[in-house]
Structure 1
Amino acid sequence: MSRVDNGEVLALVALLRHTEARKSWRAVVNEVRELGALGVLHREHPQTLLDPDPVVALLEAAQRDLRAWSEVARVLTLFDDDFPPQLREVHDVPAVLFARGRLAARGETEQGACIVGSRKASPEALRFAGAVATALVRRGTAVVSGLAEGIDTAAHRAALEAGGRTVAVIGTGIDQVFPAVNKDLQQSIEREGLVLSQFWPGSGPTRSSFPMRNATMSAYGMCTLIVAAGEQSGARIQARQAVAHGRPLILTRSVATSTEWGRELARSAYDVQVIGDVDAAISAIDGVLQRPRRLDDLLADLAK
């Protein structure tokens, strides 16, 4: 059955398109997981005795949306086998994703690390991000970032220049570019890596879209490294999301000492490491990526 003929997929799209004003996507997803998308849609839009069933029109509109969206990107929903499995683990999983580029193998978790930070970073911080990104892709690790100016751009560019894989999680529709200066970079990532968006095609940037993007980026990566950030930096949102998702968080010493939120996280009981140089950052990320393998080895030893 194709996506445009799948009743659950169509119902999910219809719900998201028509309940945003009074209910969050997270609430919709929770209800869908419990009752099924069609069940929730019928409950939200009951048929009266004298009027035609409103669900029929909503499903037809969703079908038109999916056909149009499929012209500009690959559309993934919670019901698809290709949906990134690591995103299913978190409470704020996006119900729909739009993708351009190459997805990870079906059912496999991308072995990637997020590198994020200030849009107005110092030259030293930009070099730091680029050096970590280069070292990671040479190890076969994907670099995940948000395609913003500053640290994000440095990480993406370094990954591409090293011939590695990079994933951009953006805060606009998949067919939009923000900031405009990164148009060529976004197109390069679409060709050589992967660009993901959880927002409807045509959507521009909003105050709420970037925190939502940070939550998805945090969940997508195996860990988050914050290279440089200020007290009000958007990176602090990703730091807190990483902690909420149970993802390891790595802070440079400057972030851990110069911001109140960095100091708070560094002395917390959460999975937070503070590093001082590029080698320490790479070692910390390598350690995170090796954890599943060490756990498998431990379980195998216990089973003997």
Structure 2
Amino acid sequence: MQDADLHALLCLIAAAGPTAPRRRLLDTLAPSAAWSAGPATWRGCGLTDAQVAAMQRPDEPRLHQAWAWLQQPGRCVLGWHDPDYPPLLRRAPHPPLALFVEGDAARLWHPAVAVVGSRSATPNGLDHARTFSRTLAHAGWGVASGMAAGIDTAAHEATLAAGGLTVAVLGTGPDVAYPRANEDLRARIAAEGVVVSEHLPGTGPRKEHFPSRNRILAGLTLATLVVEAAARSGALITARLAAEAGREVFALPGSIHNPMARGCHRLIRDGASLIEDAGEIGEALAPLAAVLASDLRGRLNGPTSTGHRVPAAASQASADDEPDYQNLWNALGHDPTDMDQLVSRTRLTTAEVSSMLLLMELDGRVASHHGRYFRIR
């Protein structure tokens, strides 16, 4: 992204308030053009007086902090105008204007399941979260959660231990762990998975941000699994938002004497799928994952956000005819190989290698373990 576009996008993000008017601006204009269009165009797209005032008088210290954060390796911001904006999230109700990402942003296209539940989980609930997350990871699914205490933390930790992909969707800035005790976990996820937030770096925890965070978690994933939840729980908000987005909702049954099971029982009564085994989730989601793979193939035929073209790989047969794709396949072995080695061997860019590896994972040809890739057939 050009510096002018990045600065303009940060100004649009910092303007806060309703996202739909700002998305409308970026539907037809690049960020720098949207910024230059001025108050009349802004108001014509529906920006409020407060948003217009914020655009006219940007908070430069906050913008500088965000700019500095983005200069570090492995960090980026995906705006609504960006072709790499996650397609599932784009189709969800009320998508964010932009996502700050730490980690490999291409992996936000990987099929994933949101695993959520109570912050005050029971020991059995934590065990279930670990077992389901570990099984999903071993089956090649990503596991997303909100990095809260309890079920969320157990899901992230189990997925990392299994060598799987985990995505943390934060209600703070991408650089702020909440609870603070999860700072080491946030750093591990940033290094081995993906951390995302719609909020500017440096944004601390605010009560109103966590329900809105849940819509991103629901929108990024193919399904939401509620492991354990009380009758009034943030996990139920995520489940409702997932259902509104047309995604699958699964819930684990529990003892009638466990207050942390009442939310799950309510979901099941309301139509959520009762689930007893993680394999049932994979069977239910396989057709949806195929649609996501098709989206990725289409994206690989288009320009990347940096302006480079990524080789097409619409199928194994066509991939064999693509020199860059075959180059990457030859660079892979049956022993795990990290991204830096693959970039060095192929002389492709990190973005190109990452995108092709993701499609190879979706095609079932490649697996990853702790950020290292190897052939499985």
Which whole-Å CA distance do the structure 1 matches of 2:225 and 2:199 have between them? 25
Measured on the aligned residues, the alpha-carbon RMSD in Å equals 3.3
Contact 1:45 1:55 in 2 (8 A): no
Structure 2 Cα separation of the partners of residues 56 and 144 of structure 1: 33
Per the alignment, residue 289 of structure 1 pairs with 286
Q: How does 1:264-303 map to 2 (within 5 A)?
A: 265-268=267-270, 272-275=272-275, 277=276, 279=277, 281-293=278-290
Residues 290 and 159 of structure 1: CA distance in aligned 2, closer, same or farther (over 3 Å): same
The count of aligned residue pairs is: 277
TM-score for both structures, normalised by structure 1: 0.79
Do residues 14 (structure 1) and 11 (structure 2) align? yes
Distance verdict in 2 for CA 1:4–1:190, change over 3 Å: same
2:248 maps to 248
Tell me the equivalent position of 2:199: 199
Structure 2: gaps (5+ residues): 45-52, 294-377
Shift of 1:160: 0.8
Deviations 1:169-194 (A, max 9, x none): 11111111111111111111111111
For residues 240 and 9 of structure 2, what CA distance do their matches in structure 1 show?
28
1:260/1:32 Cα in 2 relative to 1: closer, same or farther (>3 Å)? farther
Task: Report the counterpart of residue 124 of structure 1 in structure 2.
Answer: 124
Distance between the aligned counterparts of 2:236 and 2:255, measured in 1?
Answer: 10
Aligned to 1:93: 95
SS of match in other structure, 2:144: strand
Query: Shift in Å at residue 167 of structure 1?
Result: 0.8
Report the CA distance shift for 1:42/1:11 in structure 2 as closer, same or farther (over 3 A).
farther
**1:221 offset after TM fit, Å?**
0.9
- Counterpart for residue 4 of structure 2: 5
**For residue 28 of structure 1, what is the aligned residue in structure 2?**
22
In the alignment, the residues of structure 2 paired with residue 141 and residue 234 of structure 1 have an alpha-carbon distance, to the nearest angstrom, of 23
Matches within 5 A, 1:65-84: 67-71=67-71, 73-84=75-86
Structure 1 residue 189 corresponds to structure 2 residue 189:
yes
Q: Is this contact kept in 1: 2:171–2:197, CA < 8 A?
A: yes
Q: In 1, are the aligned partners of 2:14 and 2:54 still within 8 Å (CA)?
A: no
The whole-number CA distance in structure 2 between the counterparts of 1:182 and 1:223 is 25
Task: Name the SS of the counterpart of 2:225 in structure 1.
Answer: strand
Shift of 1:5: 2.1
Q: Residue 111 of structure 1 aligns with which residue?
A: 111
| SS of residue in 2 equivalent to 1:92 | coil
Normalising by structure 2, report the TM-score: 0.65
Instruction: Name the amino acid aligned to 1:97.
Output: L
Distance 1:267-1:31 versus aligned 2 partners, 3 A rule: farther
Distance of 2:204 and 2:220 partners within structure 1: 22
Q: In the aligned structure 1, how far is the partner of 2:150 from the partner of 2:58?
A: 42
1:133 aligns with 2:133: yes
Residue ranges of structure 1 left out of the alignment (5+ in a row): 47-53, 297-304
How far, CA to CA, are the matches of 2:217 and 2:267 in structure 1? 19
